[in-house]
Structure 1
Amino acid sequence: MGDLYKRLAMLCEERGISGYRMCKDVGIQPSIMTDLKMGRRSSVKAETADRIAKYFGVSVSYLLGNEQKEKPAGGEHDILDDVDIAFYGEYKELSDDDKAVLRDMVKVMRARRARKQEE
């Protein structure tokens, strides 16, 4: 069992989701998690790492174990990506007002999560 799998499992546990759910939400094959767990692979493609990092709101460097402290991916663009993933691509079809409400909600949730982690 590699470090990447352990980090992904920890992030899934913190979010209260299964590895399977994360894979489906991100749009990758669930077998990736199995292969990481069984040691048949130790890494993922850069594009996949980027999508997973955005999903969890962490940097790719943190995801790969190169940073000890979790850092948000940051920026308004990343919030939009998170919201779009969460809504299975339907975010783009919402009105501008509804998009603004969702962006604000994500900001509040991220701030709340950061406060909880500091405690």
Structure 2
Amino acid sequence: MSILYTTIEKLCAEKGISVTQLCKESGASRASLTDLKKGRKQSLSTETLLKIASYFGVSVDYLLGNTDKKEKAPAEEGGGITDEELKFALFDAPEEITDDIMNEVKRFAKYVEEQRRNGHIK
């Protein structure tokens, strides 16, 4: 089993979800993760890596085992806005916002951006 798959499994365990649930919620292909687990693949497409990294709020480098630091670089966060700045902008009581809430906000933002790119939102 690859380091990549082991890292994904670890992140799923930390979040209390299955790999199947990750795929459903992130849009990643379950077949590609099965191939990775079974050794039929050694890596994932850039698109799939980005979906998984975005879902967990980690960098692609972390998924690939190139760094132990989970946090994304400012450029990966979308123009350098920090989570703290986002919390302040969106919520009345930013100190009460949990990591799970922030992950949902980020997932929703990615969804809206994807819908815009696909022409479903103008």
TM bin (shorter chain):
0.5 to 0.7
Distance 2:79 2:18 in 1: 26
For 1:30-49, what aligned pairs fall within 5 Å after superposition? 30-49=30-49
Structure 1 length-normalised TM: 0.63
CA distance in 2, matches of 1:36, 1:43: 7
* Partner residue, 1:23: 23
Distance 1:24 1:67, change over 3 A: same
Aligned partner of 1:64 in structure 2 is: 64
Q: Tell me, what secondary structure is at the counterpart of 2:97?
A: helix
Percent identity between the two aligned chains: 42
> Contact 2:2–2:36 (CA<8 Å) still a contact in 1?
yes
Is the CA contact 1:57–1:73 (under 8 Å) kept in the aligned structure 2?
no
- The SS at the match of 1:58 is coil
2:91 maps to 1:108: no
Change (3 A) 1:53 1:73: farther
Gaps of 5+ in 2: 82-88, 101-122
How far apart are 1:110 and its partner, in Å? Answer: 2.9
Task: Give the distance between the partners of 2:62 and 2:54, measured in 1 at CA.
Answer: 11
Contact 1:58-1:73 at 8 Å conserved across structures:
no
Structure in which a larger fraction of residues adopt helix: 1
> Cα distance, 1:63 vs. partner?
0.8
